[in-house]
């Protein structure tokens, strides 16, 4: 039986990246591409090819555009109010 005391004496863990029965554990590019295709197919099968969210990109863009317009409007309103207050203050000082 193997000795499991310490890290150095542990047996090597199996890795997805090490090829079983291949020289030096290397895979060629075609095998990696085929494995990638299989993984993509599995993921597409699980999700059904549909998006998980009900919000699409067009709707999200409209929402962010509306938020940007609201922020710009509030900023412009605050600037106009501040300008009017400062203008009133300076004209009152000049009239006194």
Q: What is the pLDDT of residues 49-78, one digit of tens each?
A: 565 667 788 899 999 999 999 999 999 999
Q: How far is CA 50 from CA 13, 38, 47, 53, 58, in A?
A: 36, 18, 6, 9, 16
- The string of pLDDT tens digits covering residues 17-57 is 554 545 555 678 888 999 999 999 888 887 665 656 677 88
pLDDT band at 96 (very low <50, low <70, confident <90, very high): low
- Is 93 or 84 the better-scoring residue by pLDDT? 84
Q: So what's the pLDDT on residue 43?
A: 84
User: Whole-model pTM?
Assistant: 0.43
The Cα 37–Cα 29 span in angstroms is 12
What would the mean pLDDT of 10-23 be, rounded to a whole number? 52
- Residue 5 carries which DSSP code? S
């Amino acid at each position: 039986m193997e000795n499991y005391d310490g890290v150095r004496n542990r047996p090597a863990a199996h890795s997805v990246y090490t090829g079983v029965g291949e020289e030096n554990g290397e895979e060629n590019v075609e095998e990696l591409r085929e494995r990638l295709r299989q993984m993509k197919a599995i993921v597409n099968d699980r999700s059904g090819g549909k998006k998980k969210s009900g919000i699409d990109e067009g709707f999200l863009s409209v929402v962010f555009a509306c938020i940007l317009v609201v922020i710009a409007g509030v900023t412009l309103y605050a600037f106009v109010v501040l300008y009017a207050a400062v203008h009133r203050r300076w004209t009152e000082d000049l009239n006194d």
